[in-house]
Amino acid sequence: MLRVHPVLLAVILIGWVGFSQTIPATGESMSSHAKFDPIRDPAKDLREAVARASQSGKRILLDVGGEWCIWCHRLDSLFIKNPDLDKYLNDHFVVVKVNVSKQNKNESFLAQYPKVPGYPHLFVLDETGRLLQSQDTGVLESGKGHDPEKVFAFLKKWAKPEFK
């Protein structure tokens, strides 16, 4: 029988608990600060987003990218560094992160949308899940990041009219 030192066992358990809390279980709702997770089911996440958007009157924003993508991190950090922009996003959109990586390309899910030319890429959907806009984020960039004014203008343009 394998014997494990009690201190080592405690370290393993604490590490496992900490790790399990940093990765949301499939089906949990996301925020704009969620990570791109290869084990999430974007179809299920979208169904839940449609239910939330229908109840709240918000639009849905599919954020397609991956943890490997520097520009995806730059877009995420734009919201973290700009609380007003982040608040507007979360007040007007239900955000769904769709992972694209070697572990999971989510090809069957993304096949229902226009081809993504680069990452991150944004799809705006209405509260029923119908595509309204496919947005290349390259036009929202400025220098080595995304321009807060351009991103804010994009969000304002696609928020539901009665909520702008």
Domain ranges of the chain: 29-163
- Asked if the peptide bond before residue 114 counts as cis, ω within 30 degrees of 0, the response is no
What confidence tens digit (pLDDT) does each residue in 96-149 have?
999 999 999 999 999 999 999 999 999 999 999 999 999 999 999 999 999 999
- Which of the four pLDDT bands, split at 50, 70 and 90, describes residue 6? low
As a whole number of angstroms, the distance between CA 33 and CA 76 comes to 6
Regarding beta strands 93-99 and 59-65, do their DSSP bridges make them parallel or antiparallel, or are they unpaired? parallel
**CA distances from residue 22 to 15, 17, 121 in whole angstroms, order as listed:** 11, 9, 24
Q: CATH fold of 29-163, please?
A: Glutaredoxin (3.40.30)
As a whole number of angstroms, the distance between CA 110 and CA 112 comes to 5
- Which of the four pLDDT bands, split at 50, 70 and 90, describes residue 17? very low
CB 106 within 8 A of CB 42: yes
Q: How confident is the model at residue 9, as a pLDDT?
A: 43
Residue 26 CA to its chain's centroid (Å)? 13
Write down the pTM of the prediction.
Answer: 0.80
- On average, the pLDDT of the chain sits at 85
State the angle between helix axes of 70-81 and 83-92 in degrees (0 to 180), rounded to the nearest 10: 100
